[in-house]
Amino acid sequence: MERMINERLIWWAEREKKFSSSQSGFRRGKSFADNLAKIVSDIRASLCVGEYTLAAFLDVSSAYDCVDYRIMLDKLIALDCPTGIVKFIANWLYRRKVRFIVNSREFVDRLVFKGLPQDAVLSPALYSLFTQGLCSDLPEGVEAVEFADDIGLYVSGPNRELLVEFCKSGYLDKNLSIRIGDCDVCNSGEAKFLGIWLDNSLKFHRQVQEVRGKVSKANSIIRYLCKMSKGMEVNTALMLYKSLVRSMTDYGSFIYFPRDSAFQLKLERAQYLGIRTALGFRNSTPNDVIIAEAKVRGLKDWAEMLGRNFINKLIAYNQNDLCQKL
């Protein structure tokens, strides 16, 4: 029943355009790549015309746990949500019980008066509607991207003095911070947003290094399993390689794939090592041979293909604004 209500709620929200236009989390035809592609393309466009970009990345702490039931229902009613759906959600949320296990045997039940269940099908859609309009009253020129509880705000301009504060000596104060309530947001030359490290020049060197570290650990797992007494069958080893290694390199690869040939080679070598281990080839085996034997593509070609697929998806879902940016 919950899954059926969720499908109906999403259909209504998409049809009536109740979701925020900047929200890409858990929506049909949208993904994390929409937000990353938008912010990266805007930053690159500003760099090409000699402008500067200032960005702030926010993460809502305990997002689902802080949702107030009364405010949620009032928001659904204000959005003209169908009465049947509102009644179901009210009955589903109110007087919800949570069971605690004490000393591994004693069960204690407690009533919960706020918060969305973490593993519930309805929770992502309800949270998106609950935060609808959160970034609607931003100053002119400020752009926003949202993915569930991750928010990115950025603004571009030709004059740095309008974006950041400079000290009297003419250099940027690296200790500059912005105070929001009781929290100090410090200045940084790089930030991680939706799993991708963004830096000042968009060279993605930090991202490449992190991917290499993860791939190295995955290759160690494959190497260990292949060196066991009986080892693994080649096709099984290749499946393990694709699930462990390629899944890490493919995530956002068409966005962060470096232009620097030296860093491209670092990623490619990590792939070659995994394939050699899976196929049992020596280090002297040419790279073209192992790519052909494994029937996989190089990371650069694969990233280009993922980029083309992303553009086709934008066209299919009529996301013309983002398509024009790219």
Which secondary-structure segment (H or E) carries 262?
A: helix 261-279
What is the widest separation between alpha-carbon atoms in the chain?
A: 69
Per the DSSP assignment, residues forming a β-bridge with 23 are: 146
Instruction: Read off the pLDDT of each residue in 170-179 and give the average, rounded to a whole number.
Output: 61
Query: By mean pLDDT, which of 46-55, 162-171, 188-197 is the weakest?
Result: 162-171
pLDDT classification of 230: cutoffs 50, 70, 90: low
In angstroms, the CA 67 to CA 112 distance is 11
Query: By mean pLDDT, which of 144-158, 190-204, 217-231 is the weakest?
Result: 217-231
pLDDT classification of 234: cutoffs 50, 70, 90: confident
Q: Is the pLDDT higher at 318 or at 126? A: 126
Instruction: Read off the pLDDT of each residue in 184-204 and give the average, rounded to a whole number.
Output: 86
Q: Mean pLDDT in the chain?
A: 86
What would the pLDDT profile of 77-96 be if each residue is shown by its tens digit? 999 999 999 999 998 888 78
In angstroms, the CA 114 to CA 123 distance is 12
For 123-143, the DSSP string reads: HHHHHHHHTTTTTSSPPTTEE
In angstroms, the CA 290 to CA 278 distance is 10
In angstroms, the CA 289 to CA 208 distance is 25
Instruction: Read off the pLDDT of each residue in 38-56 and give the average, rounded to a whole number.
Output: 89
Write down the pLDDT at residue 228.
Answer: 63
Residue pair 269/291 in contact by the 8 Å Cβ criterion:
no
Query: By mean pLDDT, which of 44-58, 125-139, 174-188 is the weakest?
Result: 174-188
Answer yes or no: is pLDDT of 292 > 60: yes
For 71, the 3-state DSSP assignment is helix
Q: Is the pLDDT higher at 166 or at 73? A: 73
Alpha carbon of 234 to those of 4, 190, 240, 277: distances in Å?
42, 40, 10, 10
Instruction: Read off the pLDDT of each residue in 266-294 and give the average, rounded to a whole number.
Output: 87
Instruction: Read off the pLDDT of each residue in 256-273 and give the average, rounded to a whole number.
Output: 89
In angstroms, the CA 198 to CA 206 distance is 8
Q: For the CA atoms of the chain, what is the radius of gyration? A: 24
Query: By mean pLDDT, which of 45-54, 82-91, 94-103, 124-133 is the weakest?
Result: 94-103
Distance of CA 119 to the CA centre of its chain: 19
